[in-house]
Amino acid sequence: MKNSYFAILVVVLLSSIPVMYLINEHNMSKKAEESRVAYEQQMKEEENEEQNQRDEVESNQMNSLIDYLRFLSLEKEEIVLSVFGSSVTEGEGATDDSSHWSGLFVSHLEEEEDISPIRLENNGQNGATSRTLVNENLVDDVIEANPDVVLIEPPVIPNYESNFSPEETGSDTMYLVREIEDNLPETLIIIQSSNITASEDLNLIGYSYADYNNYLDELTEETNLNYVDVYTGMEERMESEGMEDVSEWLTDEVHPNDLGYSIWFEILADYASGTALVEE
């Protein structure tokens, strides 16, 4: 009798093994399916979050230059920045490139989050007037570099010294702008004024150095151009610090030293993060 019970028990246990196996396999399949669904849901949420972030970057691109560079960085592994102008763009007076406003600015940009590496193309021309830039087709160097952003510093200092009028300076500047716009329609153009100098006298045609910068300010407003007013920014900095003599920022009467270029950079950096770009 006991053997019969034992035999029945063995049969029951053996017959339950396939059922238990099927149940276990079902549970494992269910867990695998749940894991797959959870993974796909997580991936979908991450994709949605990434897309939302991209949409936000795109919608904010005109809020500032920094925002615009973040927008470009969505698709570009490298951003090309061209600086174009006279000797204060070329770097006259700076100890080295890293002490110049352009070098300081690139280093600053590369510390910002979500901005691709910056390749700087310095197209500054030592001693060039605006007429030199136009007549010698020096804007072609900028066009050849195919920059994403170009900062143009109209040669106000050499034009003042060479007795070209503010109007001639403005006309030449607009010619350079149009050349870039026509050849590089996707390039963002930003105009910069030159630095403050120790020059206070009228030139031979009756204009002060300030007259040129004031005219440039008016011109960029009338033509709806992006504009960094370095000249006024330096004046305001001098006033806030109680400075009466600009010479501590200069190597001579016109070219900034390392300290002067660092002030220029700070004005540019404030503009880059805090000023909305002009809508075309």
Report yes or no: 192 and 85 within 8 Å, Cβ to Cβ. Answer: yes
Per-residue pLDDT reduced to its tens digit, 200-230: 899 999 999 999 999 999 999 999 999 999 9
Inform me whether the pLDDT recorded for 13 exceeds 50: no
* For range 250-257, the mean pLDDT: 97
- Calculate the CA 29 to chain-centre distance: 52
**Half-sphere exposure of residue 67, counting CA atoms within 13 Å on the CB side?**
18
Q: Is 153:86 a contact under the CB 8 Å cutoff?
A: yes
Average pLDDT over residues 229-257: 96
41 within 8 A of 254, measured Cβ to Cβ: no
pLDDT at 22: 58
The secondary structure of 221-275 as a DSSP string is HHTT-EEE-HHHHHHHHHHHTT---GGGGBSSSSSB-HHHHHHHHHHHHHHHHHS
Q: What is the mean pLDDT of residues 132-145?
A: 98
Q: Which helix (H) or strand (E) holds 175?
A: helix 166-183
Residue 12 has pLDDT above 50, yes or no: no
From 260, 229, 234, select the one nearest 247 (Cα to Cα): 260
Instruction: Give the whole-angstrom CA distance, residue 224 versus residue 122.
Output: 25
Residue with tokens 């269910």: 30
Helices (H), 91-155: 101-110, 130-135, 139-145
pLDDT of residue 92: 97
Strand residues in 160-210 grouped as ranges (E): 188-192
Instruction: Return the closest-CA partner of residue 194 out of 160, 146, 144.
Output: 160
What band does 56 get if pLDDT is binned at 50, 70 and 90? confident
Contact 102, 120 (CB under 8 A): yes
pLDDT at 39: 75
Give the pTM: 0.84
**Lowest mean pLDDT across 15-29, 52-66, 133-147, 263-277:** 15-29
Q: CA-to-CA distance for 112 and 70, rounded, in angstroms?
A: 9
> Is the Cβ–Cβ distance between 251 and 99 less than 8 Å?
no
pLDDT given at position 132: 97
Quick one: average pLDDT of 72-97? 97
Residue 31: pLDDT over 90: no
- Is the pLDDT at 150 greater than 50? The verdict is yes
